Amino acid sequence: MSFPRIDLLKSPPDATQLVLLAHGGKENSVVETGSWRAPILRMWPFAAAAIKAAPGSAVGLMRYRYQGWNGAEAHPAADLRAVLDRLPERITRVLLIGHSMGGRAVVAAGNHSRVAGVLALAPWLPRGEPLVAVRGPVVLAHGADDRITNPAETAAYAQRLRASGVPVALFSLEGETHELLRRSADWNALVRDFVTGTTPNLTTDTDSIVELPRSSPSDSPRRGVLDIAQARLRLRVLSGGLLTG
């Protein structure tokens, strides 16, 4: 794949808003992305939640050229900007949702003129990440037991954004790891609230971290895996779409 694209899952002909989901990846890799990799599959239930929450919106999965961030090249962020630049004129608002490396990409592209909000789930925001004037609402959420990306670094980035005057909602999910499988219903609810514009706790208070209430007592990842399987079976990638590459 020599160009980035969107795999559309829903595309109403009169849609003016796009919900675009950006998957995770690796620190370094120029291997092409594939449809059945775990980071991409993890985004399908979020796409299903977005479709239900915003039936009049287009919903799609971002497909980067490569699996890796690749240092200063920052390929996923560059690919995301390229796709945003090439959207048809009727798409005037884009809501970005990213996980892990995709969370870093949506934050990096969050100042694009078409972006109307950013939701980053367990984002990879390393120390020293450039501060971007992200167009709000800005929602950051991290599992407290994540050992792949660092919740403290997410909180530090939220502090910097808030200190610059950007309201940010920062959530912590107790008992959750990087794969977002143990509290899948809570992650889906975050997506729904974000898409419908009802996310609470947007604030410039630099120290505010909200523990997201647990909707289920179970920490079993089986529910999350089932959510992925059901969404992948129920939804399909549409032929054609907003971009042809």
DSSP classification of residue 100: T
DSSP track, 15-82: --EEEEEE---BSS--SPP-TTSHHHHTTHHHHHHHHHH-TTSEEEEEE-SSSB--GGG-HHHHHHHH
Residue 239 lies in a domain: no
Using DSSP bridges, classify how beta strands 17-22 and 58-63 pair: parallel, antiparallel or unpaired: parallel
Structure confidence at residue 216 (pLDDT) = 82
Structure confidence at residue 242 (pLDDT) = 67
Residue 39 lies in a domain: yes
Residue 45 lies in a domain: yes
Structure confidence at residue 36 (pLDDT) = 87
Residue 241 lies in a domain: no
Per-residue pLDDT of the chain (245 residues; tens, 9 = 90+): 568 999 999 999 999 999 999 999 999 999 988 888 999 999 999 999 999 999 999 999 999 999 999 999 999 999 999 999 999 999 999 999 999 999 999 999 999 999 999 999 999 999 999 999 998 899 999 999 999 999 999 999 999 999 999 999 999 999 999 999 999 999 999 999 999 999 999 999 999 999 999 998 777 899 999 999 999 999 999 976 665 44
SS3 186: helix
Residue 245 lies in a domain: no
Instruction: Give the contacts of 220 (CB within 8 A, at least 6 positions apart).
Output: 182
Total domain count for the chain?
Answer: 1
Residue 204 lies in a domain: yes
Q: What is the rounded CA–CA span in Å between residue 100 and residue 108? A: 13
Structure confidence at residue 3 (pLDDT) = 84
Give the residue numbers spanning the domain of 179: 5-234
Residue 243 lies in a domain: no
Structure confidence at residue 244 (pLDDT) = 41
CATH number of the CATH domain containing 51: 3.40.50.1820
Q: Residue 102 in contact with residue 149, Cβ under 8 Å?
A: no
Q: List the beta bridge partners of residue 61.
A: 7, 21
Structure confidence at residue 220 (pLDDT) = 85
Residue 137 lies in a domain: yes
